[in-house]
Amino acid sequence: MKTLRILVLPWASVAAVFVSIVGRAGAQESQFPVRTVPANSAQQALPPASPVLRLTLEDALARARKNSTQFLAAQTEAAIVRQDRYQAAAALLPSVTYNNLALYTQLNSNGVIFIANNAAHEYVSQANVHESIDLLSVSNYRRASAASALAKARAEIASRGLVVTVVQSYYAVAAAQQKLEAAKKNGDEGDRFLKLTQELEKGGEVAHSDVIKAELQMQDRHRQLLEAQLGLLNARLGFAVLIFPDFNDDFELAEDLHASVPLPTLAEVQQRAARDNPDLRVALASVQQAGHDVTGARAGYLPSLSFDYWYGIDAPQFAVNGPNGISNLGSSAAATVNIPVWNWGATQSRIKQAEMRRTQAQRELSLAQRKLLAEIKSLYAEAETALNELTGLSRAAELSAESLHLTTLRYRGGEATVLEVVDAQTTFAQANAAYQDGAVRYRVALANLQTLTGVLTTP
């Protein structure tokens, strides 16, 4: 097997060799003078490294809205329903068409027209202005308006659900980073404690069992460090998939997980939720849509009125003027009233269907109102509990760090056992992990409140 040897030289040496080669080439060919470039200038000519993308929570939310398939699908559906509303509005306005028709009628032996037309050859080329007035068209427009409001509210629900997902993923990355830092400190503490027990064993101050226990503790801390590294990697990958259109994990977070974010009062949350809650707007729009369905169904009992105006040619010649010089251009108008008489109860059946849908929509609106009241109290209690516990978790993390330090000093002085040190190390690791999880819990609770109020609280 051949071995490939690669000589790695410093960049300054490589640049110097390159300059010397160019200088010798210039001595041989004096008509091409070469200017010598210093090595430090060659280093300055290198392109600067691209800065790491620094993401705030608002940046992450904006990127997620551009790349989330479910959110974009809800936006697309809302845009489609808006076009339905536009089409329903256009149906209320007069329409203009231009009709062209040629009739060729068979004649009998006596020259009599076979069917009742104006002539054997008749040409029709007319513009037609048509307008229809009926309650069904008006009801369809109002129904389309309610459907547009319904789709808009559902798109907002998708948007707020995306906010919760992004907030949870964003601060999960921040917590994973904090846990990794704590795991590194625990690993270093385990190494120092193992070294301490070995030194004390050499001096005859502790038994060899203390060294064994310290080594086991050190190995456990290193395993926790590996798990923390894996957890951070998975959190970053999941967050990158959520906000980037392509794979990119070269980023850092700009906001502090432990920044102070106040909790709004319960009265403020209730007031905003009553005004801006999308679930309530969906239920209300569904009731309005069902009500317009009932009106449209009842329109089957009422007459409809339509107007038509024609202007153009209706003559035996396809020309502006006939053979006798008389103009073929002319106009006509018609008004039609359609009165429904009998359809075997189909209209009554459609009314019953629409009324049943409206009743169900009213039940769902009542349920949405009750659920909103319950969710406000539940989610607010969750956020308030997480905030109150966060203060205690922060204090516990501080106390566990101080306890570990003091217990280690006591062990060094022969006043504590190895089990006490191990217990202090375990308490410190658990307290730090609980503190990071508590901070994420509070941020997610605030994001869940945002789904009710529409206001995202950021530091």
Say if 289 falls within a structural domain. Answer: yes
CATH of the domain at 253: 1.20.1600.10
Say if 280 falls within a structural domain. Answer: yes
Same-domain check for residues 170 and 316: no
Same-domain check for residues 145 and 110: no
pLDDT at 393 over 90: yes
Say if 15 falls within a structural domain. Answer: no
Domain count for the chain: 2
Say if 24 falls within a structural domain. Answer: no
Same-domain check for residues 249 and 395: yes
Same-domain check for residues 204 and 281: yes
Say if 281 falls within a structural domain. Answer: yes
Same-domain check for residues 287 and 429: yes
Amino acid at 287: V
Same-domain check for residues 312 and 288: no
Residues 239, 244, 247, 250: what is their CA dihedral angle, to the nearest 10 degrees?
-70
Same-domain check for residues 292 and 276: yes
pTM value is 0.66
Same-domain check for residues 347 and 221: yes
Residue 276 has a pLDDT of 76
The per-residue DSSP string of 52-69 comes to: PEEE-HHHHHHHHHHH-H
Domain of 278? 54-93+134-299+341-453
Say if 10 falls within a structural domain. Answer: no
In three-state secondary structure terms, 334 is strand
Last residue of a domain, one of 339, 367, 392: 339
Please state, rounded to an integer, the average pLDDT across all residues of the chain. Answer: 82
Same-domain check for residues 293 and 376: yes
Dist CA 401 CA 329 (whole Å): 100
**Mean pLDDT within 254-268:** 84
Question: Is the pLDDT higher at 258 or at 222?
Answer: 222
Same-domain check for residues 230 and 107: no
For residue 234, name the pLDDT band (cuts at 50, 70, 90).
Answer: very high
Last residue of a domain, one of 339, 365, 392: 339
For residue 355, name the pLDDT band (cuts at 50, 70, 90).
Answer: very high
pLDDT at 138 over 50: yes
Residue 206: C-alpha distances to residues 199, 325, 403, 413, 422 (Å) = 9, 130, 21, 11, 15
In three-state secondary structure terms, 277 is coil
**Residues 6 or more apart in contact with residue 217 via CB below 8 angstroms:** 190, 193, 194, 422, 425
Strand partners, 308: 130, 334
Same-domain check for residues 256 and 402: yes
Say if 251 falls within a structural domain. Answer: yes
Say if 2 falls within a structural domain. Answer: no
pLDDT tens figures, 266-287: 888 888 887 778 888 888 889 9
CA 405 from centroid of its chain's CA atoms: 46
CA 113 from centroid of its chain's CA atoms: 70
Dist CA 180 CA 55 (whole Å): 20
Same-domain check for residues 181 and 329: no
pLDDT tens figures, 148-179: 888 888 888 888 888 888 888 998 898 899 88
Strands (E), 134-286: 251-253
Last residue of a domain, one of 316, 339, 362: 339
